[in-house]
Chain A
Amino acid sequence: MKVAMTVNGTLESHDVEARTLLVDYLRNVVGLTGTNIGCDTTSCGACTVLLNGQSVKSCTVLAAQAAGDDITTIEGLALEDGRLNPVQQAFQECHGLQCGYCTPGMVMAITSLLTENPHPTEEDVRVGLEGNLCRCTGYHNIVASALAASGVVEMHQ
């Protein structure tokens, strides 16, 4: 079936099987491999992207369900001149990543969280990231990155 959606501001239109998952569509059809697959069972959040601005686990959405919608992946966050967006910048400055596998999903989940709640407390961030796992268990610096990006706390250098 024909599926068309906006991905990072570009209109994409492709013929895919109805059963194609959004994450596979993004990675294999559109060719954006920044979104990772971790558990493939809606548990880890590695595959998190924004669907009309809200975080979703793209391993549990059909590409067909997202037809006509607006998708943002990790590739779509950097500013036009190539500079990192504030959440990405905060991850770099606060050492928010170790192996980096969970990072795209974490960054997307935090972007969604900060859109809904621009000034979260540490508790809000921890609860808001309950759907994202980091197997390097670097949660402390991930939370610090989110808070830094929110402008609530000074950035730790």
Chain B
Amino acid sequence: MIPASFDYVRAESVDEAIGLLSEHGDDAKLLAGGHSLLPLMKLRLAQPAMLIDIGHLRELSYVKEEKGYVCVGALTRHHDLANSLVARASAPVLAHVAGQIGDPQVRHRGTIGGSIAHGDPASDLPAALLALGGSLVVQGPNGIREIDANDFFLSFFEVALTPEEVLIEVRVPRSEGQWGFEKLTKRAMDWAIVGALAVRTSNGVGVALINMGPVPMHARAVEAALASGANASDAAQHAAEGTEPSADFNGSVAYRRHVAKVLVGRALKTAGV
């Protein structure tokens, strides 16, 4: 399968990428690792007229700790995040989740920025970002702004970036607390049919769900139940509340709602809740 024709430009800086996005508008798309975009283009589900390749911006590939936050450059590949000593020490759940994405080949190419900007509810890293209470640093023609992760995922494959903006950094509060991550797949390398992540933070227990609706989401009812003193197994019974999973060949809506409760229960247990 071959994508439809397009023009390819390699951006040498974030400013150049923003300039090209501003100039070409909706016709242009950023290309990071290409592991979400290229499969869509091969199936002709996406046909951008221009690809702006930011995959070689090495200055956006880093993991560092700053003022109590772990800051990950948007072009950091999943493999590098999974093996980062900073991430493993100061946000081990983030490193672990990155190491569970796809397979080694996918992790050598895919980036955290692409995973988050794509807005796929079946992606793993957005769940970690939500559960940890992180934020996104984005740069556009008018400068840099920071967006709370809770305000970032708008609807199915739609995020709070304007067409000229580039996601440059992902931030999560330093978090060494216990956590549990559960991902149900049929084949090892696949996206989660349903996934759940629980992490103990300084603000209580963050719980997020994967593939349980149009956007990556908190399990708000579970978080609320825990905050008001419920034990883990009682709280997990609320996992499907407020979710809108879809049905596909991997499972019905009822199946996903059931699995969400089971996985949240397991994740909470691993997190020592």
Contacts and interface: CB of A to CB of B under 8 A. Distances in A.
Contacts of A131: 102-106, 189
B108 A65 contact: no
Interface residues of A, number: 33
Contacts, number: 82
A18 B105 contact: no
B162 interface: no
A60 B189 contact: no
Given A57-B105, A60-B35, A43 B189 contact: yes
Contacts of A113: 104
Interface string B78-120: 0100000000000000000000001111101100000000000
Interface residues of B, number: 30
Interface in A103-157: 109, 112-113, 127-128, 130-132
Interface string A14-57: 00011111001000000000000000111101001001001111
Interface stretch (B3-11, B136-144, B222-230): B3-11
Contacts of B31: 62, 65
A18 B5 contact: yes
Interface string B53-81: 10110000000000000000000000100
A42 B34 contact: no
A48 B10 CA distance: 24
Contacts of A54: 79, 108
Interface of A: 1, 17-21, 24, 40-43, 45, 48, 51, 54-57, 60-62, 64-65, 67-68, 109, 112-113, 127-128, 130-132
Given A51-B108, A57-B106, 15 more contacts: A18-B5, A19-B5, A19-B6, A21-B2, A21-B42, A42-B39, A42-B106, A55-B105, A56-B109, A57-B109, A64-B10, A65-B53, A67-B10, A112-B104, A127-B188
